[in-house]
């Protein structure tokens, strides 16, 4: 009677792994100094109507503000180390 699963204590005491948000891992990275880097927006379509200076500003990547970076860190638990 009572045909349940037998537990091994050494395996059941481990904490479960945390999942990284798949959208966040495609969009954010880390710099060598530990800041969160992101790509600029507004550079995919309708570029003729946008100013040259604005398009030039949005080349490459930029770093996030500390408050926004803190939120991104909650999406990516293993990016901390």
Q: Going by C-beta distance under 8 Å and a sequence separation of 6 or more, which residues neighbour residue 24?
A: 72, 75, 76
The string of pLDDT tens digits covering residues 33-70 is: 999 999 999 999 999 999 999 999 999 999 999 999 99
In this prediction, residue 7 has a pLDDT band, given cuts at 50, 70 and 90, of low
| pTM exceeding 0.85 | no
Q: Would you state the pLDDT for residue 20? A: 94
Which DSSP string corresponds to 23-60? HHHHHEEE-TTS-EEEE-SS-SS--TTS-HHHHHHTSS
| Cα 79 to Cα 70: distance, rounded to the nearest angstrom | 12
In this prediction, residue 30 has a pLDDT band, given cuts at 50, 70 and 90, of very high
């Amino acid at each position: 009677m009572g045909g349940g699963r037998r537990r091994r204590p050494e395996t059941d005491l481990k904490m479960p792994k945390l999942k990284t948000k798949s959208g966040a891992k495609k969009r954010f990275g880390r710099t060598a100094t530990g800041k969160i880097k992101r790509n600029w927006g507004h550079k995919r379509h309708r570029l003729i109507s946008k100013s040259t200076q604005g398009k030039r500003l949005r080349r490459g990547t930029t770093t996030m503000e500390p408050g926004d970076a803190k939120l991104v860190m909650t999406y990516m638990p293993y990016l901390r180390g």
